[in-house]
Amino acid sequence: MQLMGKTVIDLTRSISESTEVYPGDPPVQVSVVSALEDGFVLERLCMSTHVGTHLDAPYHVLLGGADVSHIGLEQLLLLAMYADVSTLSNKEDRLYKLKKLAPTLKDKALLLRTDQKLSANVSPEEVDVLIAGGIKLLGVDAMSVEHSDDLVVHKKLLSSEVLIVEGLANLHKLSDKQEYFLVVAPLKLEGCSGAPVRAFAISL
C-alpha cells in the first residue's frame, strides 16, 4: 500500500480460530450470531486480550499500573527503528548490536526481529541497554518478549514506561537503514491488561 508516496507495512497478524496462542491461554472462538438470511451478519468473538499482535499495558504485571484504556495515543504513535537479531545466536553478539543501536533510540520504538515463535528471549541486560537509550516501545515478532516465571523483562520495561507489543508480523519487510513512523492502535478496553492491536509502519 502507498500513502502519499510512502510505503505502509502491515505488521499485524490476522485473528481467527486457527490463530496459535501462548501455551495455557484460551483459544480464539468465533461463532455466528446472525447470518445474512436473517438480514445481517453478526459474530460473537471470544479470545484472550493477549492474542495475536497485541499490546501489553503496565497493568499486565505492575500493581496499580495503567490499563489499556489509560494509555495515551501519543504513546502509540512513534518514530521507529528496526533491528534483525534472528541470526545472532550468541547473547554477547546480540547485546553488542543493541548497544550500538541504543544511542539512536531516544523517544523511539524498536522493532526487533528474532524469528522465534514463543519467546523473543530478550534478556534483562538488553533491556537495561534499551532503557538507558531512552526507548519508548519495544515490539517483537514472538508471542512474548521473554519466557520466564518472574517476568523480569516485562517488569523492567513497563515500570520504565516502555510499552510492549508482541506477535508482530512482516518484520522481514523492514530495513535497518530506514526510519519508520509506527502506529499501534489497540482496542480501548477498560480494566484490561492488554489488547489486540492493528500495527503498521510507514517509511520515512
21 in a structural domain? no
Tell me the mean pLDDT in the region 171-190.
Answer: 97
185 in a structural domain? yes
> Could you tell me the pTM of the whole model?
0.95
DSSP code string of 42-71:
EEEEE--TT-SSEEEPGGGTSTT---GGGS
77 in a structural domain? yes
Query: Cα Rg for the chain, rounded, in angstroms?
Result: 17
Residue 3 has pLDDT above 70, yes or no: no
193 in a structural domain? yes
19 in a structural domain? no
Share of the chain above pLDDT 90, in %: 96
What span, in angstroms and rounded, lies between the C-alpha atoms of 16 and 28?
A: 6
38 in a structural domain? no
CATH number at residue 97: 3.50.30.50
Beta carbons of 73 and 55 less than 8 angstroms apart = no
What span, in angstroms and rounded, lies between the C-alpha atoms of 30 and 51?
A: 14
161 in a structural domain? yes
Residue 114 is part of which domain span?
2-14+49-203
Q: What is the pLDDT of residue 89?
A: 83
Q: What is the pLDDT of residue 148?
A: 87
Residue 9 has pLDDT above 80, yes or no: yes
183 in a structural domain? yes
Q: What is the pLDDT of residue 2?
A: 60
Q: What is the pLDDT of residue 1?
A: 59
Which residues in 172-193 are b (16+ Cβ under 10 Å) and which e? Answer: eebeeeeebbbbbbbeebeebb
Render pLDDT for 53-93 as a digit per residue (tens, 0 to 9).
999 999 999 999 999 999 999 999 999 999 999 999 899 99
Give the chain's domain count: 1
